[in-house]
């Protein structure tokens, strides 16, 4: 057999297996339905007829196992992954003891124990469905979805950093614009103050002249005073603005600006000058030109000192207004956006399977049977769509670069407008990215919930079967057990242990998923209790404690399945969205609280049953003590779960 004939697509492998597998499932399902119809008043020949038909199902299972093994051997060199999948499925089929269950069903049918046969048949159907799911599921696709989520999450985090940096740069530009406005106001005030100084000196000169019209001089001095007072108030406003800017710098961890003090000092000098001008006015009104001249000269000095403060303040603001650093920072952010865009483009181009337009064949790819390879490429690229939000980042880059140019040219208004538009584009890109992440998380949750539901239903079916067998043996009594009952007890222990093993595998998934508090601990209880019961059954113990634990196992599995079903219905109806790029738990807090409440109720019921058992004369002391110890630990677990649930809900708020 040559290499080309050995190479098979995944679909071809599934078709070959399904050709043998599907009739087995169909036959098992029909057997279950037929048994339900024949249960009750049924002729004795019906049991033998159904047993014969069940034997056909058992033979088909045997042929299925042989076919899976032969196919795995044929594919082990050319298609090792597919061969491994078949061997894994074969091992799973055998570990479920399907053939042994079918033999038992045949015995039940021959003995006309139709109700028990139906339960076993349903368990077989569940096992076969699990096997079918194992063969059809593509772990590579699940891994691809996980990698896609991680990749998009990394892009989202980087995008959030860029948005934050861009918002900070816009805030810096706006502060620079306000500083520029204050500088312009100071420069205008300095110009006005120079005019006031000249006029003040002119008034002082007129005052010193002989026969000067003092009333007119006083009137001119009054006009200068009023303008000086108005200018002082303007300087106080600028000082307040500078003080607020200094507080913001201190809040950002930068040294607090002392520039507000310069403006404040200028305001004080202006107010001092205004007071001396007022004194000069009064002296002029009283005809005391000498005193007025002295006050006027002092006022002029105060004005000149205020001018020095204002000019110094303006110089400091202008030095602070050097926008070269801001321009460089803006270019760095633009470069980060370009790098992110290249990453987004590179990912989307790589998703095409490494070919140009799908027309070029990859080097080293066999020329034969290309349809299978193309199908595989299609499936592998199904999840890796073009990165959402790429267009928004692409549109933001030139805006960021333009803002850097405007800052370099000290065009603050234009720069701020471009920065604002760039932020809008980046936020739009983030929103599109988060929508895709929500979709992937929802799909991931749906798949995980479906897998968990399927596994828990199989566990419940097996647990119900174990409970019935245990109850029968307990009712029969250990003294009446025959050799066949002893063998059934050993097999029952294996089946009960299987429930614990399945719970352990489910627990691994839940711990890795990591978004629930109560559910993992409940599954841990299922695992530990199922294994404990298996050990007790292996020790020929089918007493009250075992039956009580099995009853609890059945109920907790039902509660878990109900919680999962409600979450699935919520997802199907369009609910359960993450929103804002966050992760919602696998089960909502309300569902986990219900599970916690149900767990407490089970502890209560078990406590009451144990109390009742103590009053029975046949109750064994070791059973009572073991039950009390178990319930004590379980109550402590419930308390711990309640504490963790409270902490989780508090953090969520």
pLDDT tens track for 541-560: 888 888 888 999 999 999 99
Q: What does the block give as tokens for 218?
A: 């006083």
C-alpha distance from residue 611 to each of 358, 635, 643, 646 (Å): 73, 16, 28, 31
385 torsion bin: left (phi>0), alpha (psi -120 to 50), beta (else): beta
Q: What does the block give as tokens for 64?
A: 């299925």
Indicate the range of 70-79, 163-172, 299-308, 562-571 predicted with least confidence: 70-79
Give pLDDT, residue 154. Answer: 92
Return the number of other C-beta atoms located less than 10 Å from residue 115's C-beta.
12
- In 3D, which of 279, 239, 246, 244 has the Cα closest to residue 262? 239
Per-state percent for the chain, helix, strand, coil, to nearest 5? 85, 0, 15
Give pLDDT, residue 46. Answer: 59
Percent of the chain scoring above 70 in pLDDT: 80
Span 431-445, average pLDDT? 88
The long-range contacts involving 469-474, CB below 8 angstroms and separated by at least 24 positions, are 470/537, 470/542, 470/546, 470/547, 470/550, 471/547, 473/542, 474/542, 474/543, 474/546, 474/547
Q: What does the block give as tokens for 643?
A: 């504490």
Q: Is the pLDDT of residue 276 over 70?
A: yes
The set of residues, in sequence order, having a beta carbon less than 8 Å from that of 303 and lying 6+ positions away, is 193, 196, 197, 200, 228, 269, 270, 273
Percent of the chain scoring above 90 in pLDDT: 30
570-602 confidence digits (pLDDT tens): 888 776 554 444 567 888 888 888 888 988 988
| CA atoms 102, 87, 128, 119: torsion sign | positive
Most confidently modeled of 39-43, 217-221, 238-242? 217-221
> Contact 334/401 with Cβ under 8 angstroms?
yes
Give pLDDT, residue 626. Answer: 76
Q: At 403, give phi and psi (nearest 5°).
A: -65, -40
Span 5-10, average pLDDT? 37
- In 3D, which of 120, 71, 148 has the Cα closest to residue 495? 120
Buried b (16+ CB within 10 A) or exposed e, 41-67: eeeeebbeebbebbeebbebbeebbeb
> Mean pLDDT of all residues in the chain?
80
What is the DSSP-derived secondary structure letter of residue 479?
G
Confidence of residue 346 (pLDDT cuts 50, 70, 90): low
> Contact 266/309 with Cβ under 8 angstroms?
yes
> Contact 245/265 with Cβ under 8 angstroms?
no
Give pLDDT, residue 1. Answer: 36
Span 68-89, average pLDDT? 78
Residue 255's SS3 state is coil
The set of residues, in sequence order, having a beta carbon less than 8 Å from that of 450 and lying 6+ positions away, is 568
Confidence of residue 429 (pLDDT cuts 50, 70, 90): very high
Q: Is the pLDDT of residue 119 over 60?
A: yes
Q: Higher-confidence residue: 91 or 292?
A: 292
7, 9, 12, 17 alpha-carbon torsion, rounded to 10°: 90
Q: Higher-confidence residue: 530 or 346?
A: 530
Give pLDDT, residue 161. Answer: 96
Span 240-250, average pLDDT? 73
Q: Higher-confidence residue: 619 or 347?
A: 619
469-519 confidence digits (pLDDT tens): 999 999 988 889 998 888 888 889 999 999 999 899 889 888 888 888 899
Indicate the range of 74-88, 488-502, 513-527 predicted with least confidence: 74-88
Confidence of residue 396 (pLDDT cuts 50, 70, 90): very high
What is the DSSP-derived secondary structure letter of residue 361?
P
The set of residues, in sequence order, having a beta carbon less than 8 Å from that of 279 and lying 6+ positions away, is 291, 295
Confidence of residue 22 (pLDDT cuts 50, 70, 90): very low
Token pair 């033998």 in the structure block, residue: 48
What is the DSSP-derived secondary structure letter of residue 516?
-
Give pLDDT, residue 26. Answer: 44
> Contact 526/503 with Cβ under 8 angstroms?
yes
Give pLDDT, residue 372. Answer: 43
Confidence of residue 399 (pLDDT cuts 50, 70, 90): very high
Distance in angstroms (rounded) separating the CA atoms of residues 27 and 54: 8
C-alpha distance from residue 626 to each of 406, 475, 542, 640 (Å): 79, 21, 14, 21
pTM over 0.85: no
């Amino acid at each position: 057999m040559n290499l080309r004939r050995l190479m098979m697509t995944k679909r071809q492998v599934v078709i070959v297996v399904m050709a043998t597998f599907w009739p087995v499932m169909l036959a098992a399902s029909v057997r279950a339905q037929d048994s339900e119809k024949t249960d009750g008043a049924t002729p004795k020949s019906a049991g033998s007829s159904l047993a014969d038909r069940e034997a056909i199902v058992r033979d088909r299972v045997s042929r299925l196992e042989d076919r899976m093994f032969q196919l795995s051997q044929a594919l082990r060199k050319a298609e090792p992954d597919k061969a491994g999948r078949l061997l894994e499925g074969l091992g799973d089929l055998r570990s479920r003891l399907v053939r042994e269950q079918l033999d038992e069903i045949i015995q039940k049918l021959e003995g006309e124990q139709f109700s028990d046969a139906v339960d076993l048949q349903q368990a077989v159907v569940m096992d076969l469905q699990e096997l079918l799911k194992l063969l059809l599921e593509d772990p590579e696709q699940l891994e691809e979805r996980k990698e896609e989520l991680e990749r998009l999450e990394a892009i989202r985090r980087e995008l959030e950093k860029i948005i934050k940096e861009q918002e900070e740069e816009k805030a810096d530009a706006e502060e620079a614009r306000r500083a520029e406005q204050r500088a312009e106001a100071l420069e205008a005030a300095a110009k006005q103050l120079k005019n006031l100084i000249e006029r003040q000196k002119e008034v002082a000169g007129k005052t010193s002249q002989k026969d000067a019209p003092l009333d007119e001089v006083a009137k001119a001095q009054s006009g200068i005073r009023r303008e000086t007072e108005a200018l002082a108030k303007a300087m106080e406003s600028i000082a307040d603005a500078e003080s607020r800017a200094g507080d913001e710098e201190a809040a950002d961890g930068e040294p607090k600006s002392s520039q507000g003090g310069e403006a404040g000092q200028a305001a004080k000098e202006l107010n001092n000058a205004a007071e001396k001008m007022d004194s000069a006015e009064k002296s002029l009104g009283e005809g005391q030109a000498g005193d007025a001249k002295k006050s006027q000269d002092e006022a002029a000095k105060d004005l000149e000192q205020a001018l020095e403060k204002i000019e110094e303040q303006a110089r400091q603001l202008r030095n602070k207004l050097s926008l070269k650093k801001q321009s460089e920072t803006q270019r760095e952010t633009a470069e980060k956006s370009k790098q992110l865009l290249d990453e987004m483009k590179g990912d989307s181009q790589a998703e095409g399977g490494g070919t140009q337009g799908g027309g070029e064949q990859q080097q080293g790819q066999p020329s034969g049977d290309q349809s299978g390879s193309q199908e595989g490429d299609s499936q592998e690229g199904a999840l890796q769509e073009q990165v959402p939000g790429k267009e928004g980042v692409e549109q933001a880059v030139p805006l960021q670069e333009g803002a850097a140019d405007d800052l370099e040219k000290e065009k603050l208004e234009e720069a701020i407008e471009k920065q604002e538009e760039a932020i809008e584009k980046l936020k739009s890109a983030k929103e599109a990215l988060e929508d895709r992440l929500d979709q992937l998380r929802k799909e991931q949750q749906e798949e995980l919930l479906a897998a968990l539901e399927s596994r828990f239903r199989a566990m419940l079916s097996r647990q119900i079967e174990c409970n019935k067998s245990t109850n029968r043996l307990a009712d029969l009594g250990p003294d009446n057990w025959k050799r066949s009952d002893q063998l059934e007890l050993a097999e029952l222990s294996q089946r009960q242990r299987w429930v614990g093993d399945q719970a352990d595998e489910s627990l691994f998934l839940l711990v890795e998923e990591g978004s629930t508090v109560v559910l993992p601990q409940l599954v841990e209880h299922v695992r530990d209790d199922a294994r404990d019961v298996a050990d007790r059954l292996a020790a020929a113990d089918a007493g009250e404690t075992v039956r009580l634990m099995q009853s609890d196992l059945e109920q907790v599995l039902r509660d878990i399945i109900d919680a999962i079903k409600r979450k699935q219905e919520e997802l199907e109806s369009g609910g359960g969205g993450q929103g804002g790029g966050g992760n919602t738990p696998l089960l909502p807090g309300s569902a986990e609280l219900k599970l916690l409440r149900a767990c407490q109720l089970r502890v209560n019921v078990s406590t009451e049953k144990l109390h009742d058992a103590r009053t029975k004369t046949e109750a064994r002391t070791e059973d009572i003590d073991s039950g009390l110890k178990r319930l004590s630990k379980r109550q402590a677990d419930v308390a711990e779960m309640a504490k963790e649930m409270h902490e989780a809900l508090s953090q969520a708020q």
